[in-house]
Every structure is written in structure tokens, then in C-alpha cells.
Amino acid sequence: MKNMQRIHFTFNDLHKRCKLILFIPRYYSLQRIEAGGEDGVERRYWYRDSSVIYISTFRGGSSLNYENIRKQEAAYSKRFGFDTITLSGVNDSGKYWKEVKYYNLYYGYANVKEEEKKYFDQAISSIQIK
């Protein structure tokens, strides 16, 4: 998974159009999830091993790391109590996950093997919001 690809994601944030750019590992399958009106959008970039990178503007964020966040003490309430926060850990299967909340934008990854974690961390840290 060393080859990275540039991704563009456009979304509305507080009635302002924003553009997000990031570099993610190649060879993914894109899943688009959209709700009606202003409810939000989510993009999931799935890989063959079931690992996934996601970007979500849904209120409350993506459901992909919901259980992982609930299992961390006080993490769920922190997720809603701060404008910006990063949560991460290892799930019950020994795979890595991370979620970043940046105001009304949630992004992160789930189900990542230890040997691939550095590429997913690079992807998340490459995010630029314009």
C-alpha cells in the first residue's frame, strides 16, 4: 500500500463550501453515503482487507468507529464536548482505528493492520481543508 492517490472531497460547512484534499493508499473501492438536504455526506474508501478510510459531515460523525469509541472510557462524551479531538485505539480484533473531529467534519480509519498503520496515519495527517 505504498502508492498514494490524491483525493478531493467538497462539502458544506456552516453554509460555506469547503474543499478537502488528502492522499490515501491506492486500490480502494469508494462507497458514497448521502442523506437528504443538509444532513451530510460520507465517503468510505474500502480496501480488500476490510480496512477503510472515511470522511463524514453527518451530525455525530461516521458509524464506523462508534463501538470503538464507546468502549474507551469517557471518549464518547469527549467526542461531542470538543470542537477538535483525535481518538484512537485498537479494536477487539487487534486492528487499529482513529477518528479526528474537526468542528463539523469527522475523518479517520478503521480495521487497519499494524503493518499498514503508518500509511493510514500518513493519509489522515495529509488532510488539507481549503
Mean pLDDT across the stretch 93-97?
96
At 23, the amino acid letter reads F
pLDDT band at 49 (very low <50, low <70, confident <90, very high): very high
Binning the chain into helix, strand and coil, the percentages to the nearest 5 are: 20, 45, 35
Q: If you write DSSP's letter for every residue of 91-118 in order, what string do you get?
A: -TTS-EEEEEEETTEEEEEEEE-GGGHH
- Name the more confident of 30 and 2: 30
pLDDT tens for each residue of 67-77: 877 777 766 55
Comparing CA positions, the residue from 88, 75, 80, 89 lying closest to residue 61 is 80
- Name the more confident of 18 and 78: 18
Which residue reads 473501492 in cell numbers? 29
- Name the more confident of 13 and 116: 116
pLDDT at 81 over 90: no
In the chain, where the domains are located: 4-129
Tell me the three cell numbers of residue 24: 490515501
Distance of CA 66 to the CA centre of its chain: 12
- Name the more confident of 97 and 84: 97
Give CA angle at 15 (66, 58), nearest 5°.
15
3-state SS assignment for residue 128: strand
- What pLDDT was estimated at residue 9? 85
Tell me the three cell numbers of residue 67: 463501538
